Chain A
Amino acid sequence: MILVWLLLIPLIGGVMAWMFSGLSRWIATLAVLIDLVLALQLWLSHPSMPIQPVQGTAIGAGLAWIAEVQYRWIPLLGASLHLAVDGFSLLMIVLTLFIGLLCVWMSWHDPVSREKTGFYHFHLLWLIAGMVGVFMAMDLLLFYFFWELMLIPMFFLISIWGGAQRKKASLKFFLFTQFSGLFMLIAILALYVLHGRQTGLYSFDYTELLGTTLSREVAGWLLAGFLLAFLVKLPAFPFHSWLPDTYTQSPTGGVALLAGVMSKTAAYGMLRFALPLFPEAARMFAPAMVILGVAGILYGAKLAYAQSDLKRLIAFSSFSHMGFILLGIFSMQELAYQGVIIEMVAHAISITGLFFVAGMLQVRLQHTQLDAMGGFWEYMPRMGGVAMVFVMASLGLPGLGNFVAEFLILAGAFQVHVVWTVLASLGLIASMIYSLVILQRVFHGKSKQTLTHADLKPLEGLVMACLVAAIVWIGFFPQRIVRSVQPVVQQLKQIAVKQNNSAADYEWVWNDLTLFK
Chain B
Amino acid sequence: MWHQHLLPALFPQIILAAASVLCLLLIAWKRNHAVVHLFTLLSLILALASLGKIYDATAVDGLFVIDGLGVFVEGVILIAVFFITIFSYPYFFQSQIEKEEYYVLLLLATLGATSMVISNHFVSFFLSLEILSVSLYTLIAYPKKMSASVEAGVKYLILAAVSSAVLVFGLGLIYVQTGQMSLAELGKLATGGIGANIWMIVGLGLVIAGLGFKLALVPFHLWTPDVYAGAPAPTSAFVATISKGSVFVFLWRLFSSVGTMSHAVQLIFVVIAIASMLIGNWLALLQQNLKRLLAYSSIANLGYLIVAFVASGETGLHAAMFFLVAYFICMLGAFGIISFLSEPAESGQQERLSLSSYTGLFWQKPGLAVLLALIMLSLAGIPLTAGFIGKFYVLLSGVYSTQWLLVIVLILSSVIGLFYYLRVVIQLFSRPETPVSYPASPYAVSTGLAFLVLFILLIWFGVAPGHLMDQISQMVHMIKG
On A, residues with C-beta under 8 Å from B are: 72-77, 141, 144-145, 148-149, 151-152, 155-156, 159-160, 167, 170-171, 174-175, 178-179, 182-183, 185-186, 189-190, 192-193
What's the dominant secondary structure at chain B's contact region? helix
A190's closest neighbor in chain B, by CB? B399
- Contact pick for A171, options B414, B423, B430, B473, CB 8 Å: B423
How distant is the Cα of A160 from the Cα of B430 in the complex, in angstroms? 7
Whether B466 and A148, one on each chain, are in contact in the complex, defined by CB atoms closer than 8 angstroms, is no
Q: List B residues 307-363 near A (Cβ within 8 Å).
A: none
What are 18 A-B pairs with beta-carbon distances under 8 A? A72-B466, A73-B464, A74-B466, A75-B466, A156-B429, A159-B429, A159-B430, A160-B430, A167-B426, A170-B426, A174-B418, A182-B414, A185-B392, A186-B395, A186-B411, A189-B395, A193-B399, A193-B400
Interface size class of B (residues with CB under 8 A): 20 to 34
How distant is the Cα of A137 from the Cα of B135 in the complex, in angstroms? 51
Contacting residues, chain A, for B388 (C-beta < 8 A): 145, 148
A64 to chain B, nearest CB (A): 29
B296 to chain A, nearest CB (A): 18
A126's closest neighbor in chain B, by CB? B384
How distant is the Cα of A74 from the Cα of B384 in the complex, in angstroms? 14
A186-B399, A189-B395 known, 19 other contacts, Cβ within 8 Å: A73-B464, A74-B469, A76-B466, A76-B469, A144-B383, A145-B383, A148-B382, A148-B383, A148-B388, A149-B384, A152-B383, A156-B429, A159-B426, A159-B429, A174-B418, A175-B422, A183-B411, A186-B408, A192-B396
Assess A175 versus B415: contact at CB under 8 Å? Given A160-B429, A190-B399, A193-B399. Answer: yes
Whether B466 and A175, one on each chain, are in contact in the complex, defined by CB atoms closer than 8 angstroms, is no
B419 part of interface (Cβ distance < 8 Å): yes
The 10 closest A-B CB pairs, nearest first, are: A189-B399, A148-B383, A182-B411, A179-B415, A76-B469, A74-B466, A145-B383, A149-B383, A159-B426, A167-B426
Contacting residues, chain A, for B414 (C-beta < 8 A): 182
B166 part of interface (Cβ distance < 8 Å): no
What's the dominant secondary structure at chain A's contact region? helix
How distant is the Cα of A148 from the Cα of B463 in the complex, in angstroms? 13
B407 part of interface (Cβ distance < 8 Å): yes
B427's closest neighbor in chain A, by CB? A167
B377 part of interface (Cβ distance < 8 Å): yes
Assess A171 versus B465: contact at CB under 8 Å? Given A152-B382, A156-B429. Answer: no
B421's closest neighbor in chain A, by CB? A174
Contacting residues, chain B, for A76 (C-beta < 8 A): 466, 469-470, 473
Contacting residues, chain B, for A152 (C-beta < 8 A): 377, 382-384
- Contact pick for A182, options B415, B422, B469, CB 8 Å: B415
B374's closest neighbor in chain A, by CB? A152
Contacting residues, chain B, for A72 (C-beta < 8 A): 466
Contacting residues, chain B, for A77 (C-beta < 8 A): 396, 469
A500 to chain B, nearest CB (A): 35
A72's closest neighbor in chain B, by CB? B466
Contacting residues, chain B, for A75 (C-beta < 8 A): 466, 470
Contacting residues, chain A, for B411 (C-beta < 8 A): 179, 182-183, 186
- Contact pick for A185, options B395, B415, B418, B429, CB 8 Å: B395
- Contact pick for A174, options B422, B469, B470, CB 8 Å: B422
Contacting residues, chain B, for A174 (C-beta < 8 A): 418, 422
Q: Mark B370-407, 1 if CB is under 8 A from A, else 0.
A: 00000001000011100010001001100110000001
Interface centre among A74, A145, A149, A151 (most CB of B within 10 A): A74
Contacting residues, chain A, for B415 (C-beta < 8 A): 175, 178-179, 182
B453 to chain A, nearest CB (A): 19
B37 to chain A, nearest CB (A): 34
Contacting residues, chain B, for A175 (C-beta < 8 A): 415, 418-419, 422
Contacting residues, chain B, for A160 (C-beta < 8 A): 429-430
Assess A189 versus B469: contact at CB under 8 Å? Given A148-B382, A171-B422, A182-B411. Answer: no
Interface centre among A156, A186, A193 (most CB of B within 10 A): A186
How distant is the Cα of A144 from the Cα of B415 in the complex, in angstroms? 17
Q: List B residues 456-481 near A (Cβ within 8 Å).
A: 464-466, 469-470, 473
Q: Mark B115-151, 1 if CB is under 8 A from A, else 0.
A: 0000000000000000000000000000000000000
Whether B466 and A73, one on each chain, are in contact in the complex, defined by CB atoms closer than 8 angstroms, is yes
Contacting residues, chain A, for B400 (C-beta < 8 A): 193
Interface centre among B383, B415, B418 (most CB of A within 10 A): B383
How distant is the Cα of A151 from the Cα of B473 in the complex, in angstroms? 31
Whether B399 and A74, one on each chain, are in contact in the complex, defined by CB atoms closer than 8 angstroms, is no
Contacting residues, chain A, for B469 (C-beta < 8 A): 74, 76-77
Contacting residues, chain A, for B422 (C-beta < 8 A): 155, 170-171, 174-175
Whether A186 and B407, one on each chain, are in contact in the complex, defined by CB atoms closer than 8 angstroms, is yes
Contacting residues, chain B, for A141 (C-beta < 8 A): 392
B474's closest neighbor in chain A, by CB? A76
Contacting residues, chain B, for A73 (C-beta < 8 A): 464, 466
Interface centre among A149, A183, A189 (most CB of B within 10 A): A189
